[in-house]
Amino acid sequence: MVLEKIMTPIALFDSGIGGLSVLHQAQKILPHESFVYFADTACVPYGTKSKETVSLCVEKAVEQLATLPIKALVVACNTATSITIKPLRLKYDFPIIGMEPAVKPAIERNRLLNKRVLVLATPLTLQQDKYNSLVTELDREDVVDAFPLPELVQYCEQLTFDEDKISTYLREKLQNLDLSTYSTVVLGCTHYPYYKKIFKALMGSSVEIIDGNIGTVKHLKSILASAQLLATSKPSTTSEVTFLSSYDKVETARRCRKALHYLSAQQI
């Protein structure tokens, strides 16, 4: 019975293909696990919708995932976490790991450099109490700026990774910010790490581009380890990742495979 539980997959969930940037790290850090990845393609994007709509979408998606044998759920989406993490944890008894913009390590790094921190996330994440209380608590010296990039989620969902196109978009969007004032950029949306190299080129080599993906997977690993649920050998009958979605299942699975392949090729 316990062995059976150890062999059950970990579920990861996002509005679309953004959470694959977390799955990509999970496959590296937890090579013996199998995964179920759910893309809520009927509702994507979350970041420009109302809080109420996103709550309903997440509720429906997780209800579907909870019918499967899963040993933990990673809400691989900052927007969904900021709105639904509390009710989800009250409703389900499997471990639920959420995500939030990595403001803390960014402020710590910036302290040594005496510049500023730029947090990029969806409009909805930046409007939520969860994000605003995090910044109020940590940003004692008032060094954090935030900027929403909703169109980047759309580009990502279309698998648009063209460097010229994305650089032009980013330059235009961020034109009113003095980019030379930042030491650190926080990618507070799981869709944005696909563009990490483009951000790096735009900001300059001394600017650190931080996301919460590796931290989230390490947290997941420690939770599984303390519950004695960490797999130590790969199950031979289970495929590594099962892709599920709320709309256009075959096409979504194809896009997910392509996106994961892109992330591996990027070596991020």
| 102/207 with CB nearer ligand DGL | 102
Q: DSSP string spanning 18-82?
A: TTHHHHHHHHHH-TT--EEEEE-TTT---TTS-HHHHHHHHHHHHHHHTTS--SEEEE--HHHHH
Is residue 100 a contact point for ligand DGL (CB under 6 A)?
Answer: no
Beta carbons of 36 and 242 less than 8 angstroms apart: yes
DSSP letter assigned to residue 194: G
End-to-end CA distance of the chain: 37
Q: Is 189 known to be catalytic?
A: yes
Regarding 84 and contact with ligand DGL (CB under 6 A), the answer is no
156: annotated active-site residue: no
Strands (E) in 72-112, as ranges, are 72-75, 96-97
The residue from 10, 11, 23, 45 that contacts ligand DGL (CB under 6 A) is 45
155 binds ligand DGL (CB under 6 A): no
Give exposure, 230-246, as e/b (b: 16+ Cβ within 10 Å).
bbeeeeeeeeebebbbb
Q: Which of 8, 25, 34, 78 binds ligand DGL (CB under 6 A)?
A: 78
Task: Tell me how far apart the alpha carbons of residues 57 and 208 are, in angstroms, rounded to a whole number.
Answer: 34
Q: For residue 33, which of 259, 227, 260, 220 has the smallest C-alpha distance?
A: 220
**Closer Cβ to ligand DGL, 85 or 231, answer by number:** 85
Q: Does 119 bind ligand DGL (CB under 6 A)?
A: no
Classify the C-alpha dihedral 178-135-121-262 as positive or negative: positive
Dig out the tokens for 65 from the structure.
């995932």
Q: Which stretch binds ligand DGL (CB under 6 A): 38-46, 107-115, 133-141, 168-176?
A: 38-46
Question: Taking the complex as a whole, how short is the minimal distance between the CB of residue 122 and ligand DGL, in angstroms?
Answer: 4
Instruction: Out of 25, 27, 41, 79, name the contact with ligand DGL by CB under 6 A.
Output: 79
61 binds ligand DGL (CB under 6 A): no
CA dihedral 83, 89, 7, 268 (to 10 degrees): 30
Of 43, 57, 77, 256, the catalytic one is 77
CB of 243 to ligand DGL, least distance (A): 16
Which residue stretch of 9-17, 107-115, 137-145, 206-214 sits at the interface with ligand DGL (rule: CB under 6 A)?
9-17
Pick the closer one to ligand DGL by CB: 79 or 246: 79
Q: Give the residue carrying structure tokens 């599984």.
A: 224
Distance separating alpha carbons of residues 155 and 140, to the nearest angstrom: 35
| CB closer to ligand DGL out of 71 and 191 | 191
Return the residue of 10, 58, 102, 189 that touches ligand DGL, per CB under 6 A. Answer: 189
Q: Count residues binding ligand DGL (CB under 6 A).
A: 17
Q: Tell me: does residue 14 bind ligand DGL (CB under 6 A).
A: yes
Where does this chain touch ligand DGL (CB under 6 A) — which range of 62-70, 139-147, 188-196, 237-245? 188-196
**Which active-site residues does the annotation give?**
77, 189
Contact residues for ligand DGL, defined by CB under 6 A = 14-16, 18, 44-47, 77-79, 122, 125, 153, 189-191
